[in-house]
Structure 1
Amino acid sequence: MNFVTLTLFLVYQVHALSFPENFKFGFATASYQIEGGWNASGKGPNIWDWYTHTYPTRIADLTNGDVACDSYHKIATDVQLLKNIKADFYRFSISWARIFPNGQPNNINPDGVRYYNELINLLLSNNIKPIVTMYHWDLPLGLHQLGGWPNIALVDYFVDYADKLFSLFGDRVKTWITFNEPSQICEFGYSRGFLAPGYTQLGIGNYMCGRTLLIAHAKAYRLYEKKYKQHQKGLVGMTVHAVWFEPAAEGKTYAEAADISLQFMFGWWEHPIYKGDYPPVMRKQINYLSAQQNFTKSRLPYFTKDEIKLIKGTADFLGLNYYTSFLCSPLDSSAVQNPLLSPDSNVTCYQPSSWQSTASSWMKVTPWGFRKILNWIKKEYGNPKVLVTENGYSDTGELQDCNRVNFLNDYLTELLNAIKKDGCNVQGYAAWSLLDNFEWGSGYMQKFGLHYVNFSDPNRARTPKMSAYVLRNIIKTKKIDTTFTPQGFKACPPS
């Protein structure tokens, strides 16, 4: 190889390991998990306020989000962290009950509006783009008392709420996410009972909830399309939690088990949006099981033709939360059902003990699944624009967080391969999370933040971890450098 050829080869290699110039990096949080101020300045109660106060033993460390990271009082501090780390965008959620204390549009809270205006304006003044999630699990208690998401009446309340957000903030917010992880809202909130409100209407509440969320999302999208898009010129999408399901062995039945798992978790939401109606395998299986169980009609509600038309095409981008992978097999009488999926899937999935663990029991380190799920989305839905809205690693809060550093390097390498080698249309990446925070049923025992928060300190002091400096270098250079070691930290052993 001559000198010129070698030089060109090295230039190509550097370019191949570089993110596109227009690729954006940011961080994600959620209102209940970081804001605190649970009853401050006119905010109404939400289901997580009620759930953690009424059933404190359902949280692993008996804590709640009453104060959390106290971000309600620390706008300038948090924005400075984002500026320091060179974030292109910040994905945060708005607390519905901080805008409409009872969830309904007849009572708006001016202090809630002020808080989000101040946050949005300070982000923009620091060249950080706000990306807003309208709903990240904190339903106003008044709407929960009407039956919550299984009640189709909540569609109109959500559309009223969305309309108000578009009108208040849409002149500055150009990317909207209607719902974060609808599968968790419905499966874990209304079927399994793992999350607030903790209901266990197995195989019924989840599908009633799902129908409501899809119609609410679609109507909010159509509202924006008709009333705001022409002059605000923004984008609207939904964020879905994705697990990569890998066949546990070779053979047709194992491949089918993995695909059924993907359809039940991911296709439940994206198939109606991109193709119209639920995935055929989901419809067929639930109809069959409903008849076997002596139900007079399918437990999976049908959409009308008008609703199918309403929902189809309601995505300007696909929001993706990816953390981990599972191996899947056809369900047999001795197998244990995967708690991530509805029992209607008739699939069992597991994570081998040999896979690297994290502080979260549900999460093993599987960077290889990232590239696979992105390619599956590309093939299944026609290579839509994808925004990775969450991806992160849980530990116990170390500042020298080498496992998280290796996680970021490995997962981002797979993401980069999906973009550069496979042509996946990924526009940006949000790390979960900016801060250690309240992690739902785990309380404060699992730390996902790139900044340590001292929850024993009334001031909730924040300290950057090693991973914050590593990601800052990736953002700055648009390159993954596994040899980079920030000043003041020791070099990490390779993953």
Structure 2
Amino acid sequence: MSALDVSAFPSDFAWGASTSAYQIEGGWNMDGKGPSTWDTFCHAKGKVFEDQTGDVACNSYQLWEEDLKCILQLGLTHYRLSISWARILPDGTTNHVNLKGVEYYNKVIDNLIASDVTPMVTLCHFDLPQALEDCGGWQSTDIADIFENYARFCFKTFGDRVKLWITVNEPYVYAKLGHEDGIFAPGIKEPGISAYLVGHNMLRAHAKSWHSYNSDFRHLQGGQVSIALNSDWAEPLDPGCPKDVAATERYLAFSLGWFACPVFGTGDYPESMKSRIEARSLELGYNQGPRLPRFSKDEPSPLGTADFFALNYYTSRKVKNLNGARELSFTGDEGAEGVTDPSWPISGIYWLAVVPDGLRKLLKYIKDTYTSLPIYITENGFSQSGPVQKEDDDRCTFYQDTLQEVGKAISQEGVNVKGYFAWSLLDNFEWAEGFRLRFGLFHVDFSTPELKRTFYRSGREYAAVISKHHSQTKSKLV
């Protein structure tokens, strides 16, 4: 990978890696932390591979110094982490602040700054405090104001040092997998209804928090705030079939557009999404009001509530038209099915096809469709399953090919890509897949209490790319 031409990357390019609190921290009930929806979901049994949990995970709560060593070995300029909402506000509200939790994140942030590593902090990466879920969670209208109070607390407490904020990670995944499919926490299955409500409230929460930051903190702190959106790249299965072409547009509208259009486009949901959901409600005799909520004129608009575009990209799909669903469902509304091309290699799990040039195409699509704002690729990675290969040649090739495509997006397509964050710094708890998928730049030995971190070859090669870029940048300045 060190053979990669890094000259396309700007001198201030952010070289990062990402993690999230529930996936690495452990310490699930230590020092006053409250339970999160993922604690509850995992403890319910039968939800996660081999009933594994994030109770200990990488034990980063107690082994943070080991994580910091990994960050320094890589030579990262940026590190994306998330705050466990329930660790600092056990019941989700500012009525009770857990000072031990605040102390932990102060230590992490201070250590990063002292090491010349810029923190990017996510406020909610899937792990809602269970106390809030018990009151309706993200389906509750009140959640947007509660989240705004939490965000304000974090801006006030950490914002003197944190200059890059993500409010919500992958609202699509939390809404659909958690409230439509029921395979992620909180495990609700209400097809065609709850996911839209959850997505709407996440957008409301994000918008209120951005406006709060903009009016009360930006002039003092000078930071930036965004929301992390995940998306596949999509192309028609049969480019000569008008139905597949239309289905591909819907596929992108119902995934990326669902959140990008309100924030970066029109301030509202995509027209194709609104019309399809309304038509399907009529067709299926659903008459209990609009399933896709409407934005209120009495609340801050989501339009323009991002200072950069945060993109999580993992894979691509070929899309075909889907007809005839006779029940309410997100997939029926979307009327599209994404499939993998048989020529694409698969990484670790069936859904994760390796398509590096899909990232370049998606970056161009975002620039052309939504915004010329800077883009940070906030997650992108390659998983292993089965016997672990520490000399992970396939992942090395993946990173080399992917970074090459990012370089082309910058130099050939004129996309303003400001940074790349590999998923993930460490092997960790991969949600419903438990520990059987490994995305880390560092291997974690989960079989021992020490949870020893060891470089994968891909981590060493990523470090070499970063070092090479720094050297080139310095030589230009001399």
1:301 aligns with 2:293: yes
Determine the C-alpha separation between the residues in 2 that align with 1:329 and 1:17.
39
1:75 aligns with 2:67: no
1:440 aligns with 2:431: yes
Check the 8 A contact 2:180/2:188 in 1, yes or no.
Answer: yes
1:94 to 83, 86, 89: 83
Q: How much does 1:137 deviate?
A: 0.5
Any residues of structure 2 matched to 1:181-330 within 5 Å, and which?
Answer: 181-251=170-240, 252-274=242-264, 275-296=266-287, 297-307=289-299, 310-330=301-321
TM-score normalised over the length of structure 1: 0.91
Q: How much does 1:17 deviate?
A: 4.7
In the TM superposition, what whole-angstrom CA distance separates every residue of 1:384-441 from its partner, at most 9, and x where no partner exists?
2111000000003321001110000011111110011000011000000000000000
Any residues of structure 2 matched to 1:114-133 within 5 Å, and which?
Answer: 114-133=103-122
Code of the aligned partner of 2:293? P
TM-score normalised over the length of structure 2: 0.94
Determine the C-alpha separation between the residues in 2 that align with 1:310 and 1:14.
42
Q: How much does 1:353 deviate?
A: 3.2
Q: How much does 1:18 deviate?
A: 3.7
> When the two structures are aligned, how many residues end up with a matched partner?
463
Any residues of structure 2 matched to 1:353-392 within 5 Å, and which?
Answer: 353-392=342-381
Any residues of structure 2 matched to 1:107-186 within 5 Å, and which?
Answer: 107-186=96-175
User: For the aligned residues, what is the CA RMSD?
Assistant: 1.9
Determine the C-alpha separation between the residues in 1 that align with 2:371 and 2:196.
26
The SS at the match of 1:217 is helix
In the TM superposition, what whole-angstrom CA distance separates every residue of 1:322-352 from its partner, at most 9, and x where no partner exists?
010010011135x9x9x9x633111121113
In the TM superposition, what whole-angstrom CA distance separates every residue of 1:225-255 from its partner, at most 9, and x where no partner exists?
1110001000000001110111111233322
Check the 8 A contact 1:187/1:342 in 2, yes or no.
Answer: no
Determine the C-alpha separation between the residues in 1 that align with 2:147 and 2:185.
18
Farther-moved stretch of structure 1 (146-155 vs 30-39)? 146-155
Determine the C-alpha separation between the residues in 1 that align with 2:6 and 2:317.
29
Q: How much does 1:295 deviate?
A: 1.9
2:457 to 462, 466, 489: 466
Determine the C-alpha separation between the residues in 2 that align with 1:301 and 1:261.
20
Determine the C-alpha separation between the residues in 1 that align with 2:336 and 2:4.
43
1:413 to 398, 404, 419: 404
Matching residue of 1:66: 55
Code of the aligned partner of 1:186? A
Determine the C-alpha separation between the residues in 1 that align with 2:296 and 2:151.
23
Gaps of at least 5 residues in structure 1 are 1-12, 480-495
Code of the aligned partner of 2:177? F
Q: How much does 1:306 deviate?
A: 4.0
Check the 8 A contact 1:181/1:241 in 2, yes or no.
Answer: yes
Matching residue of 1:486: none
Determine the C-alpha separation between the residues in 2 that align with 1:360 and 1:221.
36
Matching residue of 1:493: none
Matching residue of 1:41: 31
Determine the C-alpha separation between the residues in 1 that align with 2:5 and 2:23.
38
Matching residue of 1:19: 9
Determine the C-alpha separation between the residues in 2 that align with 1:382 and 1:414.
20
The SS at the match of 2:234 is strand
The SS at the match of 1:434 is coil
Determine the C-alpha separation between the residues in 1 that align with 2:371 and 2:46.
45
Determine the C-alpha separation between the residues in 2 that align with 1:382 and 1:161.
28
Determine the C-alpha separation between the residues in 2 that align with 1:421 and 1:18.
9
Check the 8 A contact 2:267/2:301 in 1, yes or no.
Answer: no
The SS at the match of 2:362 is helix
1:431 aligns with 2:429: no
Gaps of at least 5 residues in structure 2 are 471-478
Matching residue of 2:475: none
1:31 aligns with 2:21: yes
Structure with the greater relative contact order (CA < 8 A, sep ≥ 6): 1 or 2? 2
